[in-house]
Structure 1
């Protein structure tokens, strides 16, 4: 579920690092993925090392010079850590402040008091959907994971029963609803109407999130019955605390970055002149880095100071928050490196060229192209933009509603079967303490359900609109 900036997408469009034909590239992709899965599952090699080796195998089989394959991997790792990594770190700090101050306890205790066991999965998908509306998927994960893990531990719930609905709510928003970067880019490429796409996106998102979230979580909980990893579960605040932050101020602190990013999205929609001072100010205020950094600083006062923390205690909390996520950062970064090696080898372009002569429905064609690019590159944003660009000429005679549905078809395809070349796969695996097989049976299958249910809803709407 990796997000790419405009500059990164432009870099992806450079000349491939190999001149291999389609057959050789296809074999290289299969070889690279097979090596990664084999090293992790059979030889129990750490995922960070497996991803490095798999990337080199991919480059070698594709006939790329070793130095260029290494440069592609390093570039992808660096850009992923620079983007996603810093958000994970800031989210971890906010999560630790939330936990140590007793703020997370306050949220969990309130939720458990208000929602029964049967209602909880539905409550989680709703909360995740609202929180995930304006923010990056990765930001949503780091904001919600502490709450998910604490609800699971305190309420004695199945991790999958609570975690899958939360992930489904976030993922559906990411793939189908503007102002996320993928849907916005597709709207621009296809000249779709933003308001119509947003309205139809909500219509598609609701049943999709229900099926892939609360309903699928029943089966996922049977297939993978595990406890949250102890190192990831925020501990209950120390009994030495005389007080803890109130529910209102705690929720406000957690939602602060959401509000800041939503404000930017609203300004993007309302302000026509993109070069105004207001636009530039909100571009800064609503950037994920600034939004999370602000929340961390505010949290030091609203959470830490409210709990009676001294400056030294706050500094210690921040320091302790970073150690547990070191492995997560390396694995997520290596997943980004593998993705970049795929892109630089020309795999995405290969898929585009092979799909040009497919003779099927435009909506289904757009979905299939996005699926193929997603499987090959691991990037939902690259899949969305590439597929939208390919089918853009076909929108000339389309109605406003069908053009919007085309955007949603592309978005649904871009979420299909997240696996080892997606940084989001490794984030979920590490946060939930699963092995590769368990992650495939839960997270990857959930993403596939979102994609399939999404395109079915789009095709049904196309029959009545």
Structure 2
């Protein structure tokens, strides 16, 4: 997807489910978020139930018909699970294969042998940035987190000291560097040059990821000192394996989805013709679902066979790999449901209407609009599309460099302070075994640092 116009996306939008004014809608958003936080922190209610109740409360406070609120919530939950759930499941299966075959141990042992304690955070941010270049954030998470958790556990490192650099590398690539969908949408809307935006995006990404990753992780590790959660670390089979797959075969299996998705992105940029057979072929094999599925199938031959696994053990391995992620899928899905309820209530449109009267420099205006929509809806994509559509007229007389910087300002703003209305917030919380407060102190602050530094 190299050309996705804002007009096409706007055509798909529907009328808000409530006719509430700006004041009532703003209060409803604050109260809805407050209900979720209160239920989780004060009453210790499960996050899935809290998000469900909070979504219904938001609709009620905004004066929306309950049936429409339910429809919005279930649609958001369904689309989130459809888009992310299968990827999480495939990633869990691949992680279990890596663990039981000894492949993950091979990777972790090699990293621990090569990297010193001082260089470990820098090693993780480099790995995450390279892997995150062609990947969606959620795909990078499911590929990297098992390795992050095992490195932290085996090397006795602080989880935040290792995890924050990995998350920073993934997030910066996702928000600032094409061929990720967000930057591509903004490039198309503003008529910016893709090559110039890519070059400037990488240039800005380097200092941003250093500050938000290895440097901030020192403070995050002091604020939140938690061990790697055992329930999220793929457990080895009880018996010791006589042999395990080689480092090269294991690394090639992990990188296979990365290569396939990167190839798709490059073909989309070079050919840019939806009817071209080559592009359509790479659109299929570079789809995240197909790419991860291919890695799982290849892993049977590169990981399980060398470790002596027979066909009879594959079914049990898949079942054990999927078991720990049921709760995560529900929580992430409910986060998507809450986000969709916000969007359908007209929160994004409210921000756009309010911002029309702001008289400030174009770059700052674009960043602030993206920040406001990100805070209100929890969606970086919605923030990017909405902000790009609003400031597009300003880019008409801009130089090539200035237009590219406008794209990056929007991308930076779209990452600002992820919190309870963002499905990514819950994904990080559950994978790292954190509570809401700890997630805000680490993940949310890291996202804010990225947004401010890059903006």
Structure 2-normalised TM-score? 0.97
Indicate conservation of the 8 Å contact 2:6/2:185, yes or no.
no
User: How do 1:294-443 and structure 2 match up within 5 A?
Assistant: 294-443=294-443
Q: Who is 1:181 aligned against?
A: 181
- 1:453 aligns to 2:453 (yes or no): yes
Q: Who is 1:461 aligned against?
A: none
Distance 2:188 2:396 in 1: 14
| 2:307 aligned counterpart, secondary structure | coil
Per-residue CA deviation, residues 53-94 of structure 1 (Å, 9 max, x unaligned), is 000000001010000000000000000000011110010000
| 1:359 aligned counterpart, secondary structure | coil
Distance 1:69 1:409 in 2: 33
Which runs of no fewer than 5 residues in structure 2 stay unpaired?
none
Structure 1 residue 272: deviation in Å?
3.7
Distance 2:11 2:239 in 1: 52
- 1:274 aligns to 2:296 (yes or no): no
User: How do 1:163-174 and structure 2 match up within 5 A?
Assistant: 163-174=163-174
Structure 1-normalised TM-score? 0.95
Distance 2:90 2:440 in 1: 27
Indicate conservation of the 8 Å contact 2:72/2:344, yes or no.
yes
Distance 1:104 1:92 in 2: 13
| 1:231 aligned counterpart, secondary structure | helix
Structure 1 residue 236: deviation in Å?
4.1
Per-residue CA deviation, residues 107-144 of structure 1 (Å, 9 max, x unaligned), is 00000000000000000000000000001000000000
Q: Who is 1:78 aligned against?
A: 78
Structure 1 residue 320: deviation in Å?
0.5
Indicate conservation of the 8 Å contact 1:105/1:236, yes or no.
no
Indicate conservation of the 8 Å contact 1:168/1:212, yes or no.
yes
Indicate conservation of the 8 Å contact 1:17/1:345, yes or no.
yes
Indicate conservation of the 8 Å contact 1:152/1:162, yes or no.
yes
Distance 1:452 1:236 in 2: 41
Indicate conservation of the 8 Å contact 1:12/1:343, yes or no.
no
Q: Who is 2:115 aligned against?
A: 115
Distance 2:244 2:402 in 1: 52
Structure 1 residue 29: deviation in Å?
0.2
Structure 1 residue 239: deviation in Å?
4.2
Structure 1 residue 241: deviation in Å?
1.3
Structure 1 residue 237: deviation in Å?
5.2
Per-residue CA deviation, residues 375-434 of structure 1 (Å, 9 max, x unaligned), is 011110110111011000001110000000000000000000000000000000000000
User: How do 1:47-66 and structure 2 match up within 5 A?
Assistant: 47-66=47-66
Q: Who is 1:291 aligned against?
A: 291
Q: Who is 2:228 aligned against?
A: 228
Distance 1:326 1:385 in 2: 31
Which runs of no fewer than 5 residues in structure 1 stay unpaired?
456-465
Q: Who is 2:13 aligned against?
A: 13
1:243–1:9: structure 2 CA closer, same or farther, 3 Å change rule? Answer: farther
Distance 2:8 2:272 in 1: 25
Indicate conservation of the 8 Å contact 1:100/1:238, yes or no.
no
Indicate conservation of the 8 Å contact 1:339/1:377, yes or no.
yes
Structure 1 residue 8: deviation in Å?
11
Q: Who is 2:95 aligned against?
A: 95
Structure 1 residue 11: deviation in Å?
8.2
